[in-house]
Amino acid sequence: MADFEVILMCGIPGSGKTTFCRERLFPQYLYISLDRLRTRSAEAELFAFALRRRKSCVIDNTNISRQERARYIPAAKKAGARVVTYWFEPDVGACLARNAGRTGRERVPDIVIRDKSSRFSAPDRTEGFDQVFKVSIADDGFHVEEQK
């Protein structure tokens, strides 16, 4: 069994990925976010560091397509990591409402949310994930359901 994990968050902007990370995964996982790092090269460097050091990490990007997720899965598997995803089913109305409460660089144009929702492809184990979890949000918080 792998002694470290790579977790991919998957969901459109405003779906709750970062809040979920903050509530459930910090500080146990190295946090990797393109939004925070600003460049793919910085992201790739930090991800490579995590793999070399066998440090569990979470990739908090939208990762809405198989192609985007394939950027991480083969390398993580090759390094011996257990690969897990938490995905958030697109709810455009709720995401737009959460986004409206954001300020500065955290707020994204509404059209981006609609576009990413139209292109979202739910992850599954055939991509190489060891576990797939679907996350929903209710008034009492996050609900996580493992998908087989």
pLDDT at position 47, please? 98
Assign domain 5-147 to a CATH class.
alpha beta
Alpha carbon distance 36, 115 (integer Å): 21
DSSP structure class, residue 105: G
Sorted by where each begins, the domain ranges of the chain are 5-147
27: preceding bond cis by omega (within 30 degrees): yes
**What percent of the chain stands above pLDDT 90?**
94
Any idea which residue has 């709720």 for tokens? 94
Asked whether 129 and 106 are in contact (CB, 8 A), the reply is no
Is 70 exceeded by the pLDDT of residue 27? yes
- pLDDT (average), residues 84-109: 95
C-alpha distances (whole Å) from 79 to each of 21, 50, 87 are 23, 10, 23
pTM comes to 0.94
pLDDT at position 1, please? 60
